[in-house]
């Protein structure tokens, strides 16, 4: 795992030197010390490239890209960023809060600690308390430019959409673009009914995220589909499957879109691929039968439902009696009954239909 203790140690050195900066007579020496610890922190990140799986939901592609970002941003922004990354490696909210409270007891006038606590409170959905901490950080001398993104997130958590948008616009005016900020603004713009702007932010977020999390891909796809941009939505979800892999939630979303767009063969190809990859083929056998029915290929659908039913009945009693297999067996029986009724209705209609002269 990444050496979080070493990383935070370097940032605390930066923080302490930052706090005592005004007391030192040689600013050049101070800046050298700051840069030394910042560079060492970045080295910890660079070494982590092969030692710790990167949490791509942060909007960065690699630990190296985080290191490059750290070199360009101010201390408070970097500390907030590492609080976010640390959430993947640290303990629960309460454990992190207890550790932070201990630091605050020793350094109650430290604005960076207030910023870190605000971040944790936002993640814990306590947005009003987060705003209070950000205000305290501001009064303690934190740079307003460093607080604006967290303030925007807190306002969005409190559904103060217009104020959140203003704060995010201010953030983009003064900071390098990051994927998470684009995602946050896209969500806010959707709430404000500004769909076009939201989609532009979503597109920018994907460009800044070479390997996005499945949740982001689905979020962008659904936003595009809601604006009737079906072709682009299919492109996004297809690229997501290509880059991230055959994650079931991505494949199911792709299938749903392809089926809605009547691209049944593409959906069936995804089902076939998943049947080869997944340990249990039964759910995908059911999906294949369902897609065939939606495509109007009723005989093929009947054959697939029958195949699934026979497969389930041939399983050992313990497997067949599980909740999942019992549910699938019920679906197969219901589908076969419905298909039989359709066939009977069509047969009757053909019988009573007058012959053509």
Mean pLDDT of 169-176: 90
In a domain, 289, yes or no: yes
In a domain, 271, yes or no: yes
In a domain, 287, yes or no: yes
Mean pLDDT of 64-91: 47
In a domain, 281, yes or no: yes
pLDDT tens for 126-138 read 899 999 989 998 8
Give me the CATH number covering residue 272: 1.25.40
Mean pLDDT of 266-277: 93
pTM value surpassing 0.85: no
Mean pLDDT of 100-119: 86
Structural domain count of the chain? 1
pLDDT at 346: 66
List CB contacts of 341: < 8 A, sequence separation 6 or more.
none
pLDDT tens for 188-201 read 999 999 999 999 99
In a domain, 292, yes or no: yes
Mean pLDDT of 5-33: 44
The whole-chain average pLDDT of the chain stands at: 78
Mean pLDDT of 158-176: 93
In a domain, 275, yes or no: yes
Residue 214 has pLDDT above 70, yes or no: yes
Selected residue with higher pLDDT from 115 and 88: 115
In a domain, 283, yes or no: yes
- Residue 278 lies in domain: 262-342
In a domain, 149, yes or no: no
pLDDT tens for 296-323 read 999 999 999 999 999 999 999 999 999 9
């Amino acid at each position: 795992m990444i050496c979080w203790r070493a990383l935070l140690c370097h940032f605390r050195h930066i923080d302490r030197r930052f706090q005592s900066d005004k007391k030192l007579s040689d600013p050049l020496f101070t800046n050298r010390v700051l840069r030394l610890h910042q560079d060492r922190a970045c080295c910890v990140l660079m070494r982590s490239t092969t030692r710790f799986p990167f949490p791509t939901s942060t909007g960065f592609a690699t630990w190296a890209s985080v290191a490059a970002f750290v070199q360009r941003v101010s201390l408070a922004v970097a500390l907030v960023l590492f609080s976010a990354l640390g959430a993947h490696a640290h303990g629960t909210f309460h454990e992190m809060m207890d550790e932070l409270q201990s630091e605050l007891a020793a350094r109650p006038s430290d604005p960076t600690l207030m910023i870190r606590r605000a971040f944790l409170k936002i993640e814990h959905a306590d947005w009003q308390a987060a705003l209070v901490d950000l205000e305290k950080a501001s009064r303690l001398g934190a740079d307003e430019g460093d607080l604006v993104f967290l303030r925007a997130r807190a306002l969005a958590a409190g559904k103060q959409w217009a104020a959140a948008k203003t704060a995010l616009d201010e953030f983009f005016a003064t900071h390098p673009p990051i994927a998470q900020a684009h995602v946050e603004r896209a969500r806010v713009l959707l709430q404000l009914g500004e769909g076009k702007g939201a989609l532009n932010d979503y597109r920018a977020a994907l460009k800044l995220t070479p390997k996005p999390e499945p949740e982001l891909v689905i979020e962008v796809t659904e936003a595009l589909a809601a604006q009737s941009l079906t072709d682009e939505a299919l492109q996004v979800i297809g690229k997501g499957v290509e880059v991230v892999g055959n994650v079931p939630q991505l494949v199911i979303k792709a299938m749903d879109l392809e089926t809605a767009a009547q691209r049944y063969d593409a959906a069936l190809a995804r089902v076939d691929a998943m049947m080869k990859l997944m340990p249990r083929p039964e759910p995908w056998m059911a999906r294949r039968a369902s897609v065939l029915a939606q495509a109007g290929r009723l005989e093929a659908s009947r054959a697939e439902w029958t195949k699934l039913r026979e497969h389930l009945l041939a399983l050992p009693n313990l497997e067949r009696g599980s909740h999942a297999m019992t549910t699938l067996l019920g679906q197969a029986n219901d589908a076969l009954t419905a298909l039989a009724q359709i066939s009977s209705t069509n047969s009757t209609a053909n019988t009573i239909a007058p012959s053509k002269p």
